[in-house]
Amino acid sequence: MRTFPSRIICLTEESVETLYLLGREDLIIGVSEYVKRPLEAMKLPVVSQFIRSDVEKIISLQPDLVLGFSDLQKDIASVLIGRGLNVFVTNQRSIEEILNYILTLGRLVDRQEKALELVQSFEIKLEHIKQKAANLSKRPRVYFEEWDSPRISAISWVSELIEICGGENIFKHKSGSLAKERFVKDEEIIELNPEIIFGCWCGKPFKPEKVKMRAGYEGIQSIKTNNIVELPPEIFLQPGPALFVDGIDQLFAYFQSFVDS
């Protein structure tokens, strides 16, 4: 008889939100301390950060599946596999890969049809926003900052979302998967002169006043007009449903407001 996982540990946020949207939140027995979506998931037992996990606590919960994300969790995965656990780690970095991840997770928990419906609804929403964005009178130049020291610009899926919603990512040519591929210098930012700066620092609050004080930034258009906006990491830096549920609406609304002002 076929069986599906019944006790799942989620080492990152996107798997948690996906399982809730698939109606299988009952399977989750442990989460990352960074989980914020949905709010009720914050009440679940915390077993990990991002690159560190409480291995003994995970083992004590007796999961039959551990879900992780990215090469940065390879060491955690190796330890857990060595302790006899089933571990599934994905590396989705583009919008298409994120949608495929939702379908894959749906198959893992016997919610294939629900996952397909969810993905199709996200695809329809993406196309709708894309068409609306095409009618904007201009495409504002955007600098998305994921980290401040060193400066790290937008990862692949964020860069795609910016373009879909009507913006122009000034570092589109550097929107790789690895952090080192997205390192940028102040002189580059100053030269490309963004009209909007989005701050979305991974793991700490964004400090717009620190950005304004950087040497040479006083001439940047977004600094002159005070178009410096904090975006929530729990929406934009997790490769999962939050991007489509809320992220796409937030970006388009901001671009539309900027263009109309």
Domain identity same for 84 and 148:
no
Q: Does position 113 have pLDDT exceeding 90, yes or no?
A: yes
Q: Over the chain, what is the mean pLDDT?
A: 96
User: How many Cβ atoms are within 10 Å of 92's Cβ, its own excluded?
Assistant: 21
d(CA 151, CA 153): 7
Domain identity same for 147 and 218:
yes
86 within a domain of the structure (yes/no): yes
Q: Helix and strand tally (H, E) in the chain? A: 12, 10
CATH of the domain at 233: 3.40.50.1980
106 within a domain of the structure (yes/no): no
Domain region containing 162: 138-260
What is the pTM for the complete model shown? 0.94
Q: Does position 200 have pLDDT exceeding 90, yes or no?
A: yes
Query: pLDDT band for position 189 (50/70/90)?
Result: very high
110 within a domain of the structure (yes/no): no
- List, for residues 60-110, the tens digit of each pLDDT value: 999 999 999 998 899 999 999 999 999 999 999 999 999 999 999 999 999
Distances (CA, A) of 85 to 8, 65, 74, 154, 168: 11, 7, 14, 34, 44
- For residue 203, the model assigns a pLDDT of 81
- For residue 242, the model assigns a pLDDT of 98
Domain identity same for 71 and 147:
no
Domain identity same for 145 and 255:
yes
Domain identity same for 150 and 230:
yes
- For residue 96, the model assigns a pLDDT of 98
- List, for residues 237-252, the tens digit of each pLDDT value: 999 999 999 999 999 9
What's the average model confidence in pLDDT over 201-218? 94
- For residue 2, the model assigns a pLDDT of 66
The number of folded domains in the chain is: 2
Domain identity same for 142 and 86:
no
40: number of CA atoms within 13 Å, CB side? 8
48-57, 94-103, 117-126, 243-252: least confidently modelled range: 48-57
What's the average model confidence in pLDDT over 196-209? 94
19: number of CA atoms within 13 Å, CB side? 25
Q: Does position 1 have pLDDT exceeding 70, yes or no?
A: no
- For residue 177, the model assigns a pLDDT of 75
Distances (CA, A) of 112 to 18, 24, 101, 196: 12, 12, 12, 40
Q: Does position 123 have pLDDT exceeding 80, yes or no?
A: yes
Q: Does position 259 have pLDDT exceeding 70, yes or no?
A: yes
109 within a domain of the structure (yes/no): no
